[in-house]
Structure 1
């Protein structure tokens, strides 16, 4: 197994504490692989289901970051030191993942993108190992495994949980792998008012160019059709915009229910309860429902049954004592989709569970980027309060924050689709 390299205990603790607030560590620069011209070299096959989002040209709304309101536009918003952001309007139909990308899907991508287990693009961090981090480590690495099988879920229970150690460059590489891969099948089906599209795709090992050109740190979409990391507006529309006019100005307060703006967390969804050894949701009959930490309550939590209880509470890669560890690390990622509360377009888990990257570039909060690219994230997280799942929770982070990725196991990915993606020959 690949183990964490030795680091002084104090340095590890400082890294963890900093990463949970506002880390500013540089990340390695990825090069361009010598993949040749074969865009369909054998890779793993994954299935991705998206929800169709229509009503092109919908109205946007104004939000003051992290406040309990939406406005018809920013002219209607009160003056604030935080300013106002216009969000949610999208002029075209598109699709967005019904679910977050799971550990099983990410493992298939890792074994495709890094079949020799050499990790040239820094896709794997030693803290993702279940040996290094028993409670949160999702993925095992075996140096001696055969080609294309170096990575696997750390425990079987992780396979259907959201992958939680992503930075934006990871998400962009997955989108490139999908774009450069072969769509084997596409199925459109409806469930009630929602339309879903299921793609069966053979992934490509070509990850550095495709939808995103990773030779450019500030890369944006290079194609009008294909798999993407959703934009902030695409993400927010899918989570909150109600084409039937519900909510306020046609926007829900939560991705699970309309709620009431201005009432704090009074109309928040109920918090999930997770099986303590499997991470499955046990209270799905309680609706609406989301994985987050309620005000004054405990965050949903679990640890694989195979892990000794003392290792769940004490062992961590930072050398933190159990009390500090318990304070800093609350909340676990639950099985995708089991909360069962849908957004206005039929997506699941856009509220809570893992916070998710978008491809929207934004100015840094300090006004100085120090040569780094910042992008928006959305969706709250299983250890965060309900205000993190409001539409005004327009979070941001450097796209390549090494410390954050090294210490924060709740960073997820949801894939989108723009244009008409169909199997070749159709």
Structure 2
């Protein structure tokens, strides 16, 4: 797996450089941003999250700058879904105008292609289990990498019980709710949380693509999904894009037994509008739910032996004004 850009700067030392080895070939390249300030204080009120210690994360980590795209997911399907026993593909990806991937051939020889104009748009019609299998595959080196082991051990019993948790030492995974929340709302320079993921306490404006700050694809303002980088003026304090709008994003959080967490709001009219983008609105779905409004992004912690977290040089983000503690 290759690492892409990290935040607004560049990684000073990649794992394979530190180890003196060549980077492995990879079909899927991910742009990562680094989220630091380990042990940051939790946000308030606690009801903003299903998870305890809302937004507090004890470790540094990387999170993908953009949502997983149709192009990336199609590579996964072509590598692992020639027969597709796990239902990684949803026919609505082809039949819906909002889906981005077609399938041809028959069982045992399925192949997948990205629709014209859809490559950089986020994949949708994916369940929580599809997302965990993608992260397992990505962490296992792509290609023939396993989908059932890795960050998550996926057995029929554990899936049925919704009891799957991240394995110790996992390197590539879905973000926990706190990891997702911190990347979206926490400013590590000013040591504060914002209400919206564009680094502001002012409600985000739902609009078609624009470079103007604090705009997003929500409330059907753009009529459909938009490609990565369509709102260049609306990055989070950590340098991610579209953590507000475009697609709701799965996270690891188990909620009330049968549900998994999601956050961020979506492009659709039924996506809750700008309010769904705020820090105060966690969400939950059955992990088997798939829809045109639902996708995911990935997170990563490299192996400690690489020294990558220590060696990574991350450009300093501009400090933002501290939010008064009583304002919410």
TM-score normalised by L of structure 2: 0.77
Q: What is the CA–CA distance in structure 2 between the aligned matches of 1:63 and 1:151, rounded to whole Å?
A: 45
Cα deviation, 1:291-342, whole Å, max 9, x if unaligned, reads 112xxxx5211xxxxxxxxxxxxxxxxxxxxxxxxxxxxxx11011220111
1:299 aligns with 2:244: no
Aligned length: 274
Q: What is the CA–CA distance in structure 1 between the aligned matches of 2:170 and 2:153, rounded to whole Å?
A: 15
1:214 aligns with 2:160: no
Match of 2:225 among 328, 333, 343: 333
Q: Secondary structure at the match of 1:160?
A: coil
Q: What is the CA–CA distance in structure 2 between the aligned matches of 1:95 and 1:84, rounded to whole Å?
A: 20
1:242/1:53 CA distance change after superposition, 3 Å? same
Deviation at 1:272, TM superposition (A): 3.0
Match of 2:214 among 274, 277, 288: 288
1:228 aligns with 2:179: no
Corresponding residue number in structure 1 for 2:89: 124
Q: Secondary structure at the match of 1:108?
A: helix
1:173 aligns with 2:136: no
5+ long unaligned stretches in structure 2: 1-23, 307-328
Max radius of gyration: which structure?
Answer: 1
Deviation at 1:222, TM superposition (A): 1.2
Q: Secondary structure at the match of 2:44?
A: strand
1:345 aligns with 2:312: no
Q: What is the CA–CA distance in structure 2 between the aligned matches of 1:230 and 1:102, rounded to whole Å?
A: 17
Q: Do the aligned partners of 2:203 and 2:275 also contact (CA within 8 Å) in 1?
A: no
Q: What is the CA–CA distance in structure 2 between the aligned matches of 1:144 and 1:175, rounded to whole Å?
A: 26
Deviation at 1:62, TM superposition (A): 2.9
Corresponding residue number in structure 2 for 1:151: 112
TM-score normalised by L of structure 1: 0.60
Cα deviation, 1:43-77, whole Å, max 9, x if unaligned, reads 96110111100000000023365xxxx7xxx9xxx
Aligned residue runs from structure 1 range 123-272, under 5 A: 123-129=88-94, 132-133=95-96, 135-143=97-105, 150-153=111-114, 155-181=115-141, 202-215=142-155, 216-217=158-159, 218-245=163-190, 250-259=192-201, 267-272=202-207
Deviation at 1:288, TM superposition (A): 2.2
Q: Do the aligned partners of 1:62 and 1:84 also contact (CA within 8 Å) in 2?
A: no
Deviation at 1:257, TM superposition (A): 2.5
5+ long unaligned stretches in structure 1: 1-41, 75-82, 182-201, 260-266, 274-280, 302-331, 364-368
Q: What is the CA–CA distance in structure 2 between the aligned matches of 1:255 and 1:177, rounded to whole Å?
A: 29
Q: What is the CA–CA distance in structure 2 between the aligned matches of 1:84 and 1:53, rounded to whole Å?
A: 19
Q: Secondary structure at the match of 2:187?
A: coil
1:85/1:388 CA distance change after superposition, 3 Å? farther
Deviation at 1:377, TM superposition (A): 0.5
Match of 1:362 among 243, 255, 260: 255
Q: What is the CA–CA distance in structure 1 between the aligned matches of 2:108 and 2:164, rounded to whole Å?
A: 34
